[in-house]
Structure 1
Amino acid sequence: MTTGRQPGTGGPRPAPGEPSLAELERRAASNRRRPAYGHDALIVCDRLVRVFTTDGVEVQALQGLDLLVAEGELMALVGASGSGKSTLMNILAGLDVPTAGAARVAGRDLLTMDAGARLGYRRDVVGFVWQQTARNLLPYLTAAQNVTLPMQLRGGRRRAARAKAADELLSMLALDHCRDRRPHQLSGGEQQRAAIAVALANNPSVLLADEPTGELDSHTAEQVFTAFRTANEELGTTIVIVTHDQAVADEVRRTVAIRDGRTSSEVLRRTERDAATGQESLVAREYAMLDRAGRLQLPADYTSSLGMAHRVLLELESDHIGVWPDPTADGAATEGDGDGPAGTAHGA
């Protein structure tokens, strides 16, 4: 008669194929020793959720978004209207609170901060540049006075020290000639560069910019982006830019695309040198993002070209995963002479 217990243990035997209690304990101990998600990142978004309720209707702006940004990065966020990128920026700026998940910036927990801590966070940790130039500068102050105002509100510096720091920021961004001019006396590009100086006034860990070149022509937009790059290189400030401007997105080493409230893909750019000629070239490669729940967003043009909808077949190979259309679905690819099911192309 079978007892269902392991001899000498008094415990139940695991079902065939199930791990033993000792194996489960070993896995749990291994997980405890593993570093926490994003332990070495400056910005950490872990399964971030933001739900808005209007007239009893819930809208999920963020649906379990994962994002890591290393200290010192200069990166871009792109996505269609309604993708969730502006919601993400408002959360990172301390202007909105997530519904669920985790969000940390420079060690600050954005979900648990009270009103006082959130005010200190916006004053000391993060700087923000809006698309509308009028939102960045007070019209009755000069450029220098606008830059010194955040320092004055923060306290801790004498007037001479504040004036010197403001002059250094304006000089770094090629705005020496604008020091004593008010916003209406500045061009659009000069206003945005002055806004960057204001955002950098208290030496924040992170600078966020929401469509900072959206109202500028291409030449002026290039000058503004140069100001961001200068701040990143000379001050080491981590900078995240939301943009629809492909020229701006192409200038950064990392571009993250957001779709339907989740990060969907990344473009990483690096400089490679030709071994034969010694000539350098910029190489860009696009990656699909695999979130912590194992979800993968396949590009819409890929799935539509192969008639993929609702479900797909997966095959685990030694060095990749094959993704195939469902051969039982209406309109699915028919059998052919390809290497995989239904003769379709391999997915990576």
Structure 2
Amino acid sequence: MSTRPEDATSAPVSLADLEARAAARRERPAYGHDALIACDRLVRVFSADGVEVQALQGLDLLVSEGELMALVGASGSGKSTLMNILAGLDVPTAGAATVAGRDLLTMDARARLTYRREVVGFVWQQTARNLLPYLTVLQNVTLPMQLRGGRRRAARTKTAEQLLAMLSLDHCRDRRPHQLSGGEQQRTAIAVALANTPSVLLADEPTGELDSHTAEQVFAAFRTANEELGTTIVIVTHDQAVADEVRRTVAIRDGRTSSEVLRRTERDAATGREALVAREYAMLDRAGRLQLPADYTSSLGMAHRVLLELESDHIGVWPDPTADGNADHGAGDGPKPGGRTPDDGPKPGDGTPGDGPKPGGGATT
């Protein structure tokens, strides 16, 4: 049984205690203080003909400097809206978003233009949007540096040539876009996006119009930029092959981050062999909301509300015992569906993320 502050057995809370708690909260580091990209309860509402649509509904996301990560989600999930906000092409309705220390909600038009020139690079899915058709590859890559200003022509040309060499495009420097293959066009677009050494490179479905072999070459270019230049790269993709190649994949559903797949290399103690291990985690946002996988909830008949049990090392999530078909299981009346009680000892898989649903008819987190 929980003890409320007004219970006679509770120690009264003094004004000094409240002030100490408030001071402790103020002294905590701000959310995302050490992240290159920090989105805190981000909201974006679109209005059309008197109807409001929430594309982002309190989305949280942190991206560390030097990461190469992927964003995935169904059409309409909000991932493209998020990318447009991070690129400085759109403004969030509420919440907070910072990239490399720039506040995306408070920038004026001039600051936003500087941000797009200096802080972020962007690669579109449609190759025609990335390159000017009447310029050569070398001229396309030097153009962003020319628009930014502050560098001599010889320095701009040298930087462009270095980028083309890094991405294996030396042979294309004097060609125009229509003389390039789809893969060469996208790799040139990456070079253009990297021209002003941005802190973040954003790519929206960069392999969506390419065959699998060419897509591999384009992704290899992103990996090269990440490893050799240290550029933080965020890729929106439907291509599972691309998503499987990064160490971290974040899924967006209904305008919020819903799950995250982390991949790491593990060595087998017995054989010494290395293997890539992927584990999926549900995301707990700043408001304490958790999106449970639909196949988990449907298989257990969970809808509308669930019963929670706090145990020593995890939280049990159980179907509503008062719902149809479960009416004979009263909340807190003893064993949960499946006959297990909180005192039965450790469950199989306890404490191991990614083990899936636990025996006993409930999901645990």
Normalising by structure 2, we get a TM-score of 0.89
Question: Deviation of residue 343 (structure 1)?
Answer: 5.1
- Contact 1:307–1:332, Cα closer than 8 Å, also in 2: no
What is the aligned counterpart of 1:69 among 35, 54, 63? 63
1:266-277 matched pairs, under 5 angstroms: 266-277=260-271
Deviations 1:255-283 (A, max 9, x none): 00000000000000001112222211101
Q: Percent identity?
A: 87
Find the counterpart in structure 1 of residue 163 from structure 2. 169
Return the alpha-carbon distance in structure 2 between the equivalents of residues 95 and 107 of structure 1: 17
* 1:197 lines up with 2:191 in the alignment: yes
Aligned to 1:102: 96
Cα RMSD for the two superposed structures: 1.5
Among candidates 122, 127, 150, match of residue 128 of structure 1: 122
Note if contact 2:322-2:328 (Cα within 8 Å) is conserved in structure 1: no
Q: 1:187 to 1:56 in 2, by over 3 A?
A: same
Select the residue among 241, 259, 266 that pairs with 1:265. Answer: 259
**Aligned-partner residue type, residue 347 of structure 1:** T
Consecutive unaligned residues of structure 1, counting only runs of 5 or more, are 1-13
Aligned to 2:364, what secondary structure does the other structure show?
Answer: coil
- The answer for the alignment partner of 1:344 in structure 2 is 361
Equivalent residue, structure 1, for 2:37:
43
Q: CA deviation at 1:214?
A: 0.2
Q: Which residue of 2 aligns with 1:245?
A: 239
Q: Of the candidates 294, 297, 304, which is equivalent to residue 300 of structure 1?
A: 294
Tell whether the 8 Å contact from 2:56 to 2:255 is kept in structure 1 after alignment.
yes
Q: CA deviation at 1:23?
A: 2.3
Residue 356 (structure 2) aligns with: none
Q: Is the 8 A contact 1:43 1:67 kept in 2?
A: yes
- Structure 1 window deviating more from structure 2 (19-28 vs 315-324): it is 19-28
Supply the AA of the counterpart residue of 1:155: G
Residue 38 to residue 207, structure 1, CA distance change in 2 (3 Å) = same
Give the equivalent residue in structure 2 for 1:7: none
Counterpart AA for 1:338:
G
Shift of 1:48: 0.2
Separation in structure 2 between the aligned mates of residue 25 and residue 157 of structure 1, nearest angstrom? 54
Alpha-carbon deviation of 1:219? 0.4
The answer to whether the 8 A contact 1:268-1:285 is kept is yes
Q: Could you list the per-position Cα deviations for residues 286-319 of structure 1 after superposition, in whole angstroms to 9, with x for gaps in the alignment?
A: 0000000000000011101101000000000000
Deviation at 1:340, TM superposition (A): 5.0
Deviation larger for 156-165 or 85-94: 156-165
Aligned match of 2:350? none
How much has 1:334 moved relative to structure 2? 6.5
Checking the alignment, whether the CA contact within 8 Å between 1:338 and 1:345 is kept in structure 2 is: no
1:160 pairs with one of 154, 164, 184? 154
Give, in angstroms, the shift of residue 27 of structure 1: 1.3
* Matched residue, 2:141: 147
Shift of 1:337: 4.0
Aligned residue type for 2:116? R
3-state SS of paired residue (1:266): strand
How many residues are treated as equivalent by the alignment? 335
Matched residues in 2 for 1:102 and 1:80: separation? 24
Distance 1:214 1:134 in 2: 13
Residue identity opposite 1:170 in structure 2: L
Aligned partner of 1:314: which letter?
A: L
Contact 2:47 2:53 in 1 (8 A): yes
Q: How far is the alpha carbon of 1:15 from its aligned partner?
A: 3.1
Letter aligned with residue 142 of structure 1? T
SS at structure 2 position matched to 1:271: strand
Match of 2:212 among 202, 215, 218: 218
Letter in 2 for 1:15: E
Q: Describe the superposition over 1:306-347 as per-residue Cα deviations: whole angstroms up to 9, x where unpaired.
A: 010000000000000000000111244976543159952342
Residue deviations 1:37-73, cap 9 Å, x none?
A: 0000000000000000000000000000000000000
Q: Equivalent residue of 1:103, what SS?
A: strand
Equivalence for 1:15: 6
